[in-house]
Amino acid sequence: MLRIIRYPWQLIAGISNGLAVLTSVAISSQAALAATVPTFDHIVVVIEENHGYSQIISSSSAPYINSLATQGALFTNSHGVTHPSQPNYLALFSGSTQGVTNDNCPLTFSGASLTTQLLGIGKTFTGYSESLPSVGYTGCNSGGSNGYYRKHNPWVDFTNVASSVNQPFTSFPSPANFANLPTVSVVVPNQLDDMHNGTIQQGDTWLENNLDAYAQWAKTHNSLLIVTFDEDNGTTSNRIVTIFYGAHVRTGQYSENINHYNVLRTIEASYGLPGLNNATNTTPITDSWQ
C-alpha cells in the first residue's frame, strides 16, 4: 500500500528513526565483535614455574618477560587454581584438577582434554617438553633433578591422547617452519629453565632464546604466544604472571580476575569449542583484543 506523507516532518522523522535503528545495529554489531576471541592459526602456551607476580614483573632479572608484558597484554590479577604444581597443569589442560592434590607419579585419566577437543574439530595439538628423552616417554622423570618431570606434562596422563603428541622440545619447529606448528602447542621447559630449580634470569634467558622468534613471527602471522606460570611461590593468593603477545593483542594491563580455567576457555573460544569441566563456568578473555 502506498503511504502518502502529508507533512514534511513525517518524512524527516522517518529518516531520523531509520538512522537511529541503523546506528543501534552498528553499535550492537561492534559490541558483539569486541566480545569475541580471534580465531588464531597457532597458539603456543609456555608454562613457567613457582614464582609470584611481584617476583617477575619489574624484576631486573626478567627483562625479556617484562618486554613481553610491556608490548603485549599483561593480566595483573591472574592466579593459579591451587598448590602444588601438578593440579595446575591438569587444570589448564583439561579444565579440572582431576581431584589431584599432589605431585605423585604416574597418574592416568581417560576423560576429555584440550587435545581431544581440538582433534574432534580437525585441529591439532602437541606438547613439547624440554629434556623429554623420547617421543611418547611415560617415565616420571629424566635427566636428574634439573631435567624433565612428568608432573609438568599433563597430556601424557591421558590414555585417550596419542603418544605422538608427547614430543621433546627438540622437535619444536625452526623459525622457517613455524607455519607447520600444530593449532595449539604447550611448551614446558625443564626444571632448570622453567625457574623451578634455576634462577629467574636463567628462565627468562631461555624463554628469549627459544621462543622470541616465534613471538615476533606470531604478530604478523595471525598467531598468539601465551606465557603463564603454574603457581606462585606458595602464597594463599597464588597470584601469577599471565601475558598474551602476538596478533590482535591490544597492548595494556588488564585487571579482571582470571585463572587457568579462563585461559583454557579463551583458547577453546578461539576455535568455537565449549568449555571443559570447570572452564564451562568461566568466561573467555575478550577485552585484550584489538
Confidence of residue 23 (pLDDT cuts 50, 70, 90): very low
Per-residue pLDDT at 6 exceeds 70 = no
What is the C-alpha to C-alpha distance for residues 17 and 242, in angstroms, rounded to an integer?
46
Residue 19 confidence (pLDDT) above 80: no
Average pLDDT on 102-131 reads 98
Residue range 7-12: average pLDDT? 44
Q: Which amino acid is at 34?
A: A
Q: Which fold has domain 39-281?
A: Alkaline Phosphatase, subunit A (3.40.720)
User: For the residues of the chain, what is the DSSP string, one character each?
Assistant: -PPP--SHHHHHHHHHHHHHHHHHHHHHHHHHHHTS----SEEEEEEE-S--HHHHTT-TT-HHHHHHHHHSEEEEEEE-SSSSHHHHHHHHHHSS-TT--S--S---B-S--HHHHHHHTT--EEEEETT--STT--SSEESSTTSEEGGG-GGGGBTTS-GGGEEEGGGSPPGGGGGGS-SEEEEE--TTTTSSSS-HHHHHHHHHHHHHHHHHHHHTTTEEEEEEES--SS-SS-EEEEEEEETTB--EEE-S-EEHHHHHHHHHHHTTPPPPGGGGGS----TTB-
Chain centre to alpha carbon of residue 269? 11
Percent of the chain past pLDDT 70, that is, above it, reads 88
pLDDT of residue 104: 98
pLDDT tens for each residue of 254-279: 999 999 999 999 999 999 999 999 99
Residue 27, pLDDT score: 32
User: Does residue 50 have a pLDDT over 70?
Assistant: yes
**What's the pLDDT at 18?**
47
pLDDT at 35 (0 to 100):
61
Residues 74-98 have pLDDT tens digits of 999 999 999 999 999 999 999 999 9
> What is the per-residue pLDDT for 278?
98
The pLDDT value recorded for residue 205 is: 98
What pLDDT, in 10s, does the model give residues 221-257?
999 999 999 999 999 999 999 999 999 999 999 999 9
* Domain residue spans of the chain: 8-37, 39-281
Q: For 128-175, write each residue's pLDDT tens digit.
A: 999 999 999 999 999 999 999 999 999 999 999 999 999 999 999 999
